[in-house]
Amino acid sequence: MFERTPGEATRPLPSRWRRREPERTALHAVVRGHLADLLDDARRRSDSGTGYPAFVGHEFHRYLDCGVLAHGFARLRCPDCGFERLVAFSCKGRLCPSCWARRAADTAADLVDRVLPEARYRQWVLTFPWEMRYLLATDRAFQGAVLRTFLRTVAAWMRLRARRLGLRGGQVGTVTFVQRFGGILNLNPHFHTLMPDGVFIEDADTPGGPLAFETLPSPTDVDIAALGLRLATRIGDLARQRFRQTQDDPPWQDPDELPLRLTVAEAVRPPGPKPPRALPWEAAPPPDDQGAGTTAAKALCTRVQGFSLHAARTVAADDRMGLERLCLYGLRAPFSLDRLSLDPDGQVRYRLHRPWPTTEGRTEIVLEPVAFLRRLAALLPAPYQNLVRYHGVFANRSRFRNRLPPPPVRSGETEVASAANMNTNSAPAAATAPSAPDAAAQATVTAPAPPPPEPPRRTRLGWAQLLRRVLDIDALQCPRCLSHRPLVVLAFLTDPAVVRRILEHLKLPATPLPVAPVRRIDWESECGTGQQPAAWDRCDANWGTHSAGDDVGIHAPARGPP
């Protein structure tokens, strides 16, 4: 049996590529039918009548154009049999689940192939009390200060453990994924941090040379409890200081951003009644008692006055596929299209990933369409806000970045290149081998340390490569002749007249589906109040009153079709 690459015969056959049709999904139907109502609702809520910031409406409109052939496409052809395929353009926005998944796969592949060296990695997850989530979601400077405090505390603890084992000058690196969402489409800013379970040490004999990785023992439940208490104390101090500043100069006084901040405040509201507790910025836990206010629900996890620190998930050093899956988990989209559906009466039904921890164990939530879109608007990050942060030795400006061990090469991809390098390296070594007297003379001279290898340059993977890597789908293979030669791009078509003519010839939809106009709803009869913004807030407050068995904090009543 002949195999082109080792292990190719045992791999599953690649799946056929099929064009996604976003027009048939429930999300596209909801956005198309109620986007005008959402924007009109925001304009009514704002004092100035401007509504949401421009980027919110821009993201929704970009999603409506994503993947629709009527807005343009690329024309591909097989060089052997002449088979042609049309590939629609993507929006590359932060609302479209498909574009989000593409960006997540690209970032995870770059981290595994170019940034993260071979080591055992641990995932640190830090969540916050719901009273802090509004400020974390709206105040970018406060969020950055909290993240720096979190990473400095954990890194200092790692270096202290290394010094106790005799490892001096240890360096730590982290990659943090900032997530803004929870399990029920609620606003829940929290951090997923990947950190090597050890430190990088510089060799004293070769200063300036490559760093070596030293693995540290795994933390214990006592260590995690002490770290959680320390983090609650320090972040609580930051929150108290920031809340004192906001009393004098509130950051939400801009009237143009009032609708978005109202939407954020509704999305962050806790699901159902909560027992009263001391806020972390009002009463910090005592630093002397290492067990005060802490609970350990499971191994390597602690809860301190609303803060939660989890560090049980690890990936072995040789499990690069597991490391990529863990990166994809931290980079995942806020919601899944597979769990989203529409009821016959127009309500949006979202199936939860796991039952919600209530007495009834809810497995899904039901939302009115405009309320669903308002939740999505609250989950949209602001423009130019990075959701992936690099610190320590993994930062771009770190002087240790180029001295890290190179990441291992994925098997089955560069055997030919490795063999070529071995042949080219072995020949000069044999040709320039010194004689015995020369070798004795050179032994007394200390050879300079070789310069560290430069990291490979960042190259973005194409959409076909990502599909092959993540889903094992070869989008450039001809389904008719199964040729080994990939499809070639003939043209990128954007002229509306040419696009319409081709689609009409192929009997495909040549015009995009229209966006529904604004539905004028008699809010006064719905809520029994006037049209002032305060009355709107009281109306939403009445909708948000639920018992523990209601729809887990959904702030809209069940309605009929609009």
Q: Cα torsion at 461, 465, 467, 470 (round to 10°)? A: -80
Per-residue pLDDT at 305 exceeds 90: no
**Tens-digit pLDDT profile for residues 178-213:** 999 998 898 999 999 999 999 999 887 777 788 999
Q: What share of the chain is helix, strand, coil (3-state, %, to 5)?
A: 40, 15, 45
Can you say whether residue 346 is alpha, beta or left, with left for phi > 0 and alpha for psi between -120 and 50 degrees?
left
As a whole number of angstroms, the distance between CA 214 and CA 198 comes to 6
Task: Please tell me which residue, 296 or 549, carries the higher pLDDT value.
Answer: 296
- In eight-state DSSP terms, residue 522 is -
As a whole number of angstroms, the distance between CA 184 and CA 364 comes to 8
Query: How far does CA 500 lie from the centroid of its chain?
Result: 37
Region 389-395: what's the mean pLDDT? 96
Dig out the tokens for 28 from the structure. 């596209």
Dig out the tokens for 557 from the structure. 């009543």
Region 205-228: what's the mean pLDDT? 91
Write down the pLDDT at residue 249. Answer: 58
- pTM, to two decimals: 0.78
Mean pLDDT of the chain: 78
User: Is residue 294 a contact partner of residue 302, using CB atoms and an 8 Å limit?
Assistant: yes
Write down the pLDDT at residue 225. Answer: 95
E strand or H helix at 161, and its extent? helix 140-164
Per-residue pLDDT at 80 exceeds 60: yes
Burial of 298 (0-12, 13-18, 19+ CB in 10 A): exposed
As a whole number of angstroms, the distance between CA 560 and CA 552 comes to 20
Per-residue pLDDT at 279 exceeds 70: no
How many residues are listed for the chain in this entry? 562
Q: Cα torsion at 177, 93, 263, 526 (round to 10°)? A: -140
Domain boundaries, the chain: 119-254+262-270+278-404
Q: Phi and psi dihedrals of 357, rounded to 5?
A: -70, 75
Alpha helices in 432-561 (DSSP H): 436-443, 463-470, 496-505, 523-527, 533-543
At 392 the three-state DSSP class reads strand
Instruction: For residue 521, give the nearest of 538, 507, 539 by alpha carbon.
Output: 539
Write down the pLDDT at residue 475. Answer: 81
User: Is residue 408 a contact partner of residue 118, using CB atoms and an 8 Å limit?
Assistant: yes
**Tens-digit pLDDT profile for residues 487-533:** 898 999 999 999 999 999 999 999 999 999 988 654 444 444 434 33
Poorest-confidence range of 8-12, 31-35, 331-335? Answer: 8-12
Find where tokens 């060089």 sit. Answer: 79
Amino acid making up residue 42: A
Poorest-confidence range of 78-87, 157-166, 247-256? Answer: 247-256
**Tens-digit pLDDT profile for residues 402-422:** 999 999 876 544 433 333 343
Per-residue pLDDT at 68 exceeds 60: yes
As a whole number of angstroms, the distance between CA 161 and CA 321 comes to 29
- In eight-state DSSP terms, residue 449 is P
Q: Residue 323 CB: number of other CB atoms within 10 A?
A: 23
